[in-house]
Amino acid sequence: MLSVVLMFAFFVLFYFPEQQQKVLLNNYNTEVQNLSNTVALGVKIALTEQNFEGVTTAMDFVLKKEELIFVSLIQTDDSTKEKTVLKTVPEDYPVTINMQSCDTMIVKMSPFITPTMSGEIMIGMGTHQIVESKKEIRNTSLMVCLIVLFIGVFIGFLLSKNITVPVLALRDAALKVGEGDRTQQVNSNGKDEIGELGRAFNKMVKELSIAEAERKAAQQQLIHSEKMASLGQMTAGIAHEIKNPLNFVNNFSALSVELLEELEESTDAEDKIEIMESLKSNLKKITAHGKRADSIVATMLQHSRGTAGSKVPTDINQLCSEYTDLAFHGIRANSRDFNCTITKNYEDNLPLINAIPQDLSRVILNLLNNGFYAVADRMKKSELSDYKPEVSVTTERKDGSIFIHVRDNGSGIPSAIKDKIFEPFFTTKPTGEGTGLGLSLSYDIVTKEHQGMMSVQSEEGIFTQFTIQLPI
Amino acid sequence: MKLLVVDDELDVKDMFLQRFRKEIKAGKISLVFAHSGEEAVDLLSQIQPMDVVLILSDINMPGMTGFDLLKIVKEKLPNLKVFMVSAYGDALNMDKAKAFGADDFIEKPVNFQILEEKIFSTQ
């Protein structure tokens, strides 16, 4: 901006006046030459007519010019070509034969030839007016420049007030909205386009706020659906799980009743002892299987309850074992054709870690469900008759952490989408078969709730392995 | 008659031995047990002479499932009857069992009275 102003000042105060002066000087030069030619012509005519008064008249003609400094009549000797000043007006002006123009004077010469004499008229005209003109131009330009500057400042002030300030306010508000502040509003009273822009911005922010609230509500609903879907699958697995202990509770109870009747009837002491031993064993089994059924129900309740928030010392091997079975039965309940070899490699004597078991169990369930889905999907598509679906769950202690690896020999994850699989709502399953929230929720449970890490390794066509790392 | 009972739950053995104690004492039934499909296949190849007449097999077992065992038995020992015993008592499961050649399907919790009737009806 400063350089523009300086350039403008240079142009107005120096360049423009200089250029004007040059033009004026050129014109002046021409004028003086014309004048000189006119006098030379007058003198020529006078000399031709031998009218010597006419010579004086011709020279007097130019005396009227205000800028005239001198006019000289110069004779040229025809044979020697030597020049002599015959007359100069004013007489005392020091004229030389080859006078040149200078800053203060323009000197022009015009030759003439008559039968009686050859010579030149030499005129010297002052440039005072030109210099004065230059000064006037400079002063005028300066004044114009100042007026323009003043108008510019005034316009700038108006622009700033009506455009720049509101636009900057809009920019600041937009930046804050971008940072998440959905309460920003700008002044939108103006009747011009800036006012319209402000009103449009305010409307946009309000609608953005509403849309965000709706999005959050929809997300919560989907998260709830994901949990319900997971619970539904669990329920199927749990129903099967409960039938097994119930089988023992019912039958050992019935058998115990029979044994009691036998005990009542028996007279043989040895027989009675044997019966009582059997009864004792049966009652223990009834108790054990009753507790087993109870813990299965408790597990289901824990899963449906959501995040309890408090961490408790947790046996990771037990959690993995329990939920591996549940996940398998859950899948089987929905898909009778499903079969899979499950390999469990649990490192012995893993320390208990502080964890929220109902949330971690959700993670294990999710990873196993994904693994089972992957192998089942590959089975459907596979042309190999000898494809054997396998899922393994491994736990190990290493570097101050407990690692849980869930691995399947499904089709693997294409490298193009591997970075997206933990993103909320990202799914490769057909519509209706998944909310795309399982891995995202699992990731949050591991990293945010348990300060752990979750990662995936995969090779297309070979395997996928999810690894959870939990600090001890 | 010799029965082979295949179930990964360990208490199944006790349950069957108690339930059929009178029949076992009377020599009407003898029982052998396997805790996996693989163990059942091994046992079937070892028992000489092959006098097992009926297999009672759970479906849901780690490794070789009851259905896998059923297919192998029906292929190699077609005269051997197989009853599937399972907590999955829905029609789909039962249809699948039939399709693979199961001779009957018993839903858990097992009603031993019905089971006994079915066992002896195979003679």
Domain ranges of chain B: 2-121
Pull the structure tokens for residue A343: 């390999």
Contact B104, A242 (CB under 8 A): no
List Cβ neighbours of A314 (8 Å cut-off, separation of 6 or more). Answer: A352, A353, A354, A355, A357, A360
Q: Is residue A246 part of a domain?
A: no
- Residue A31's domain is classified under what CATH number? 3.30.450
What is the 8-class DSSP label of residue A102?
B
Q: Is residue A390 part of a domain?
A: yes
Closest CA to A111 of A47, A40, A57, A50: A40
Give the end of a domain, one of A133, A165, A194.
Answer: A133
- Please list every residue in chain A whose beta carbon sits closer than 8 Å to the beta carbon of residue B88: 240, 332-333, 336
The least confident of A191-200, A262-271, A331-340, B91-100 is A331-340
Rounded-to-integer distance, Cα B10 and Cα A453, Å: 38
- Chain B interface with A: residues with Cβ < 8 Å: 9, 11, 14-15, 18-19, 60, 62-63, 65, 67-68, 87-88, 90, 92-93, 96, 108-110, 112
Report the pLDDT value the prediction gives residue B109, as an integer from 0 to 100.
86
Test mutation, B7, B12, B14, B69, chain A, max A CBs within 10 A: B14
Give the end of a domain, one of A104, A133, A162.
Answer: A133
What is the interface size between A and B, counted as CB pairs within 8 Å? 56
User: Which of A174-183, A300-309, A387-396, B114-123: highest mean pLDDT?
Assistant: A387-396
pLDDT band at A307 (very low <50, low <70, confident <90, very high): low
Check if CATH label 3.40.50.20 holds for domain B2-121.
no
A residues 192-251 lying closer than 8 A (beta carbon) to B: 239-240, 243-244, 246-251
Could you read off the pLDDT of A402-418 as tens digits, one per residue? 999 999 999 899 888 88
Residue span of the structural domain in which A323 resides:
310-472
In degrees, rounded to 5, the angle at the alpha carbon of residue A135 between the alpha carbons of residues A131 and A141 is 140
pLDDT band at A177 (very low <50, low <70, confident <90, very high): confident
Q: Is residue A124 part of a domain?
A: yes
Closest CA to A240 of A285, A293, A291, A284: A293
Give the end of a domain, one of A111, A133, A155.
Answer: A133
Q: Is residue A291 part of a domain?
A: no
Rounded-to-integer distance, Cα A248 and Cα A252, Å: 6
Amino acid letter for position B15: M
Nearest to B92 among A244, A278, A336 (CB): A336
- A278 close to B (CB below 8 A): yes
- Give the percent of chain A with pLDDT over 90: 29
Nearest to B109 among A251, A259, A282 (CB): A251
Q: Are strands A390-398 and A341-346 parallel, antiparallel or unpaired?
A: parallel
- A177 close to B (CB below 8 A): no
- Please list every residue in chain A whose beta carbon sits closer than 8 Å to the beta carbon of residue B19: 251, 255
Q: Are strands A453-459 and B2-6 parallel, antiparallel or unpaired?
A: unpaired
Instruction: Using CA coordinates, name the residue in chain B closest to A389.
Output: B63
What average pLDDT does the segment A340-356 reach? 91
CB atoms A285 and B109 under 8 Å: no
Q: Is residue A147 part of a domain?
A: no
For residue A62, CA distances in Å to A29, A103, A125, B37 come to 15, 21, 10, 139
Rounded-to-integer distance, Cα A442 and Cα A423, Å: 11
B38-49: b (≥16 Cβ within 10 Å) or e: ebbbeebeeeee
- Residue A249 or A58, more confident: A249
CB atoms B112 and A337 under 8 Å: no
Beta pairing partners, B104: B83
Report the pLDDT value the prediction gives residue A331, as an integer from 0 to 100.
81
- Please list every residue in chain A whose beta carbon sits closer than 8 Å to the beta carbon of residue B112: 251, 254
Instruction: Count structural domains, chain A.
Output: 2
C-alpha torsion sign, points B16, B18, B21, B23: negative
